[in-house]
Amino acid sequence: MHDEIRRLAREKNAIILAHNYQRYEVQLAADLVGDSLGLSAKAAETDARMIVFAGVHFMAESAKILSPGKKVVMPRSDAGCPLADTITVEKLRALQAEHPGAPTVCYINSAAAIKAEVDVCCTSANMDKVVASLPERKVLFVPDGNMGRYLQKLLPEKEIITWKGVCPTHHRLRAEQVLEVKRQHPAAKFIAHPECRLEVIELADAVRSTTGFLRYAKESEATEFIVGTETGLIPRLEAENPGKRFYPASEAMVCPNMKMTNLEDVLAVLENEDNEILVPDDIRVRAVGSLERMLKIT
Ligand code: SF4
């Protein structure tokens, strides 16, 4: 099936992107594997006619925002993100009305319509830099409440108003589970994702984005790691670090939305070119502005 997918991708001048949390067999069929913004930015640089995005909906929207002239399709159009879905434009506007004058920062895991309404976007790798760069003391941060609480800890001089969203996959991990895995592997370094609960983050040797996990594991002299993020990252960590061992902080850290896409879906979307992602131009232009402001800061 990999051969057939690669043949069709060549024939249709398509580039296949897979997020780090996708099934490993889907990652192996992709041209690029990475985090959502990195993938979208790299795809924009290629001369591919079509982008096949194996991930969740807001990620494919990011690809469309950055590559308006390319056709963007998803193997599974029903793969959404429960974190991104916690906030709507109406709810965001109501929050902004409660705090006039406070700028809004949104985590990249948001719909294009939300990105269009905020002052600036951020990623899990640059959120503190972005928020610290704002002159205002009070800052609205959406949609991830855990990330907002971590930011408040990193930047005590700021007043971070958080939204109530969480990523169910990361929020599921509890401090007791981490302590138990640490007890089983006392030499292992624990890496947490900022979408985890603050009580979990406080147990971490390092707090990193998915790309940061890969870099930390490669550069660290440690040989064992406890992985506090979606388990889909583990096969890649293992492949890139032969001789090092990776233990999930919890086997339950599996995002069902990320696991919806299988190889049959990738093949089908290449054949049919359906499930196209479209972003209205007025939203796209404003959302690009929020992304560009982030890039300028970082
Ligand atoms: Fe959304 Fe969390 Fe799944 Fe990522 S892992 S797609 S943030 S629910």
User: Probe ligand 1: pick from 35, 61, 147, 255, max atoms within 8 Å of CB?
Assistant: 255
Which whole number is the average pLDDT over 232-241?
A: 95
CB environment 78-109: b (16+ within 10 A), e (fewer): ebebebbebbeeeebeebbeeeeebbbbbbbb
Contact 189, 206 (CB under 8 A): yes
Looking at the structure, do residues 140 and 185 belong to the same domain, yes or no?
no
Looking at the structure, do residues 237 and 211 belong to the same domain, yes or no?
yes
pLDDT in tens, 248-272: 999 999 999 999 999 999 999 999 9
Looking at the structure, do residues 177 and 163 belong to the same domain, yes or no?
no
Q: Which domain holds residue 197?
A: 173-248
Looking at the structure, do residues 148 and 121 belong to the same domain, yes or no?
yes
CA distances from 93 to 96, 142, 283 (A): 5, 12, 15
Looking at the structure, do residues 204 and 68 belong to the same domain, yes or no?
no
Looking at the structure, do residues 290 and 144 belong to the same domain, yes or no?
yes
Which whole number is the average pLDDT over 7-19?
A: 97
Strand 50-54 versus strand 224-228 pairing type:
unpaired
**Global confidence as pTM:** 0.95
pLDDT in tens, 58-69: 999 999 999 999
Q: What is the pLDDT of residue 290?
A: 96
Retrieve residue 159's tokens. 């007043």
Looking at the structure, do residues 138 and 201 belong to the same domain, yes or no?
no
Retrieve residue 83's tokens. 């974190």
d(C-alpha 262, C-alpha 165), whole Å: 28
Has residue 253 been placed in a domain? no
pLDDT in tens, 178-202: 999 999 999 999 999 999 999 999 9
Distance 55 CA to ligand 1 centre (A): 10
Query: Residue 6 maps to which CATH number?
Result: 3.40.50.10800
Looking at the structure, do residues 133 and 275 belong to the same domain, yes or no?
no
Atom of ligand 1 nearest to the CA of 230: 5
Q: What is the pLDDT of residue 179?
A: 98
Distance 21 CA to ligand 1 centre (A): 9
Strand 138-142 versus strand 159-162 pairing type:
parallel
Q: What is the pLDDT of residue 42?
A: 86
Has residue 64 been placed in a domain? yes
CB atoms within 10 A of CB 27: 22
How many structural domains are present in the chain? 3
pLDDT > 90? residue 40: no
pLDDT > 90? residue 273: yes
Looking at the structure, do residues 118 and 191 belong to the same domain, yes or no?
no
The whole-chain average pLDDT of the chain stands at: 96
Looking at the structure, do residues 154 and 93 belong to the same domain, yes or no?
yes
Has residue 65 been placed in a domain? yes
Phi/psi region, residue 101 (left: phi>0; alpha: psi -120 to 50; beta: rest), is left
pLDDT > 90? residue 41: no
pLDDT > 90? residue 158: yes
Looking at the structure, do residues 163 and 291 belong to the same domain, yes or no?
yes
Least reliable range by pLDDT among 27-41, 170-184, 202-216, 257-271: 27-41
Indicate the DSSP class of residue 232: G
d(C-alpha 248, C-alpha 153), whole Å: 25
Distance 203 CA to ligand 1 centre (A): 22
Has residue 198 been placed in a domain? yes
pLDDT > 90? residue 159: yes
Q: What is the pLDDT of residue 103?
A: 98
Looking at the structure, do residues 291 and 143 belong to the same domain, yes or no?
yes
Which whole number is the average pLDDT over 35-46?
A: 88
Using CB distances shorter than 6 Å, the residues near ligand 1 are 21, 56, 81-83, 109, 167-169, 230, 255, 257-258
